[in-house]
């Protein structure tokens, strides 16, 4: 139920444009909806070189962009959802390969040239339980565990429709872990100790986004998030860098490549019961499948 409420809230925010449009003029809004559904399948019979006899995987990616511009006011919204699963013959059950919820909104008031006074809000989490395979008994993440919220004020620089940089000298970052079993089992995970479920950080941030057709039928979306906590070890910068490349074969078939790089000294990764701090996390997903894009 909590998942449904959160998703409805996000969808309502991103679709609030309907209430703000006039009856006859929708030119102030630009919308784009991207969706891809990729599949891969492997089957071997008497294969002399060996390998997994049967495997199948699927990955869903959805990006929604809604931008409003009228006179001195601007409002930009982004919702990114991804989920992937795989099944192999030698392994019982399904395994998660990708899981992302990312909602971003920022409103601006024109300052001068390409600069706006801007307020910024972002939410990040995941849908379902995650595991440090092959251990499938003890989950290490779940919905809202962790979840990240960032609220900042600053200046937004947008020299072109496809590129913008938000620079904030002051803002708040909230980490939420609603499942205390995670922080009890991994003492200090996400910087949270004891029976606490939240971690507040105050600091400066830079958030940049680039989205453009870099070649014919090849679109790149690159999103960089940087945060420095003023109150504790400001030199240990939190970094999140996401890249999505969508290559369209035709109207309905596409090739997609998605990468995510994370550095966060508060996060603790668990692999086969071993704990590592101050590590660089990286994920890469490649797929071929169905794609559909709508401009509005």
Task: Kindly report, residue by residue over 98-124, the tens digit of the pLDDT.
Answer: 999 999 999 999 999 999 999 999 999
What residues contact 5, with CB distance under 8 A and at least 6 apart?
A: none
The secondary structure of 175-199 as a DSSP string is EE---HHHHHHSTTGGG--TT--EE
Distance CA 69, CA 91 (A): 51
- Whole-number pLDDT of residue 275: 55
The domain spans of the chain are: 100-289
pTM attached to this predicted model: 0.84
Q: Which of 31-35, 88-92, 133-137 has the highest mean pLDDT?
A: 31-35
What residues contact 42, with CB distance under 8 A and at least 6 apart?
A: 51, 52, 54, 55, 56
Tokens of 225: 């998030």
Tokens of 103: 């909602």
The closest of 228, 174, 175, 234 to 206, measured between CA atoms, is 228
The angle at the Cα of 227, spanning 224 to 229, to the nearest 5 degrees, equals 170
- Whole-number pLDDT of residue 17: 46
Tokens of 190: 């996400």
The closest of 227, 211, 218, 129 to 172, measured between CA atoms, is 227
The closest of 152, 129, 153, 125 to 139, measured between CA atoms, is 129
Give me the helices (H) in the chain, please: 2-14, 17-20, 180-185
Q: Work out whether strand 115-125 and strand 147-160 pair parallel, antiparallel, or are unpaired.
A: antiparallel
CA distance between the termini of the chain: 31
Tokens of 52: 């997994």
Q: pLDDT band at residue 160, thresholds of 50, 70 and 90? A: very high
- Residue 201 in contact with residue 231, Cβ under 8 Å? yes
Q: pLDDT band at residue 90, thresholds of 50, 70 and 90? A: confident
The secondary structure of 221-246 as a DSSP string is EEEEEEEEETTS-TTS-EEEEEEEEE
- Whole-number pLDDT of residue 46: 60
Percent of the chain with pLDDT over 70: 82
Q: Which of 6-20, 31-45, 128-142 has the highest mean pLDDT?
A: 128-142
- Residue 61 in contact with residue 97, Cβ under 8 Å? no
- Whole-number pLDDT of residue 285: 84
- The per-residue pLDDT of the chain, averaged, comes to 84
Is residue 18's pLDDT more than 70?
no
Task: Kindly report, residue by residue over 23-82, the tens digit of the pLDDT.
Answer: 455 678 999 998 888 887 767 666 665 666 677 888 899 999 999 999 999 999 999 999
Where do we find the tokens 């409003």?
68
Task: Kindly report, residue by residue over 203-226, the tens digit of the pLDDT.
Answer: 999 999 999 999 988 999 999 999
Distance CA 128, CA 122 (A): 20
- Whole-number pLDDT of residue 110: 95
């Amino acid at each position: 139920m909590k998942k449904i409420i959160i998703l409805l809230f996000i969808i309502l925010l991103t679709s609030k444009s309907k209430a703000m449009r006039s009856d006859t003029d929708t030119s102030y809004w630009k919308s784009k909806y991207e969706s891809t559904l990729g599949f891969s399948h492997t089957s071997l019979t008497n294969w002399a070189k060996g390998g997994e006899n049967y495997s199948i995987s699927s990955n869903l990616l959805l990006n929604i962009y809604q931008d409003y511009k009228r006179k001195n006011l601007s409002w930009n919204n982004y919702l990114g959802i991804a989920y992937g699963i795989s099944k192999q013959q030698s392994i019982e059950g399904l395994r998660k390969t990708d899981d992302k919820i990312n909602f971003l909104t920022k409103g601006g008031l024109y300052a001068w040239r390409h600069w706006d006074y801007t307020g910024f809000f972002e939410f990040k989490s995941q849908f379902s339980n995650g595991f440090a395979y092959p251990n499938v008994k003890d989950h290490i993440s779940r919905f809202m565990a962790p979840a990240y919220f960032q609220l900042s004020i600053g200046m937004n620089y947008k020299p072109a429709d496809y590129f913008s940089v938000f620079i904030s000298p002051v803002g708040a970052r909230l980490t939420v872990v609603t499942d205390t079993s995670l922080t009890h089992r991994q003492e200090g995970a996400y910087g949270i100790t004891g029976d606490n479920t939240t971690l507040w950080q105050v600091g400066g941030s830079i958030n940049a986004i680039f989205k453009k057709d870099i070649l014919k039928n090849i679109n790149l979306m690159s999103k960089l998030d940087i945060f420095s906590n003023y109150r504790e070890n400001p030199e240990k910068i939190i970094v999140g860098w996401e890249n999505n490349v969508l290559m369209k074969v035709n109207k309905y078939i596409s090739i997609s490549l998605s990468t995510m790089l994370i550095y966060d000294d508060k996060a603790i990764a668990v692999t086969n019961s071993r704990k590592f701090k101050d590590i660089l996390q990286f994920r890469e997903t490649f797929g071929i499948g169905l794609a559909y894009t709508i401009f509005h």
